[in-house]
Amino acid sequence: MVTDNQVRILMKLVNQEELLKTVAAKAAHKIGQIELANTILANAEQKALEIYNQSKTNRTGLAEQIAWFYCFGNVQPDQAIDWANKAYASEPNSPTSCVRPM
């Protein structure tokens, strides 16, 4: 069985890899390689969703990361809101899954 600590470590590694892929996709887009950028983002999206679907623990953290991916990586506002809502629904007291009014 995978421990919570192992999941956290895996999430950090995946997050770093997906962040690098997102930066590479943005760079490819900037130099006019639109198809390559779209391919990179689609692969990153697929991997993130696979990891989320296979995870039995810490789905809140994964949902948060996917929400951020849809905000800034593969920009899809509707998906970003859906994933942010999933994160909030699974852990409403998480400081990173919600913004509370002052």
Two tokens, residue 20: 């690098």
Q: What is the rounded distance in angstroms from the CA atom of residue 62 to the CA atom of residue 52? A: 6
Q: Quote the radius of gyration of the chain (alpha carbons, Å).
A: 14
In a domain, 61, yes or no: yes
In a domain, 100, yes or no: no
In a domain, 32, yes or no: yes
In a domain, 54, yes or no: yes
Q: pLDDT value at position 39? A: 94
Which residues does 92 contact at the CB level (< 8 Å), separation at least 6?
A: 98
Q: pLDDT value at position 42? A: 93
**Residue 73, SS3 per DSSP:** helix
In a domain, 49, yes or no: yes
**Residue 44, SS3 per DSSP:** helix
Q: pLDDT value at position 62? A: 85
Two tokens, residue 91: 């852990």
Q: What is the rounded distance in angstroms from the CA atom of residue 97 to the CA atom of residue 22? A: 21
- Domain with 14, as residue range(s), is 4-90
In a domain, 102, yes or no: no
Residue with tokens 């997102």: 22
Q: pLDDT value at position 100? A: 47
Q: How many domains does the chain have?
A: 1
User: Letter for the amino acid at 22?
Assistant: T
In a domain, 8, yes or no: yes
- 84 C-beta neighbours (distance < 10 Å), count: 20
- Which tens digits make up the pLDDT trace of 18-70? 778 888 898 999 999 999 999 999 998 998 888 888 887 778 788 888 888 89
In a domain, 97, yes or no: no
- Which tens digits make up the pLDDT trace of 2-21? 556 655 665 666 667 777 88
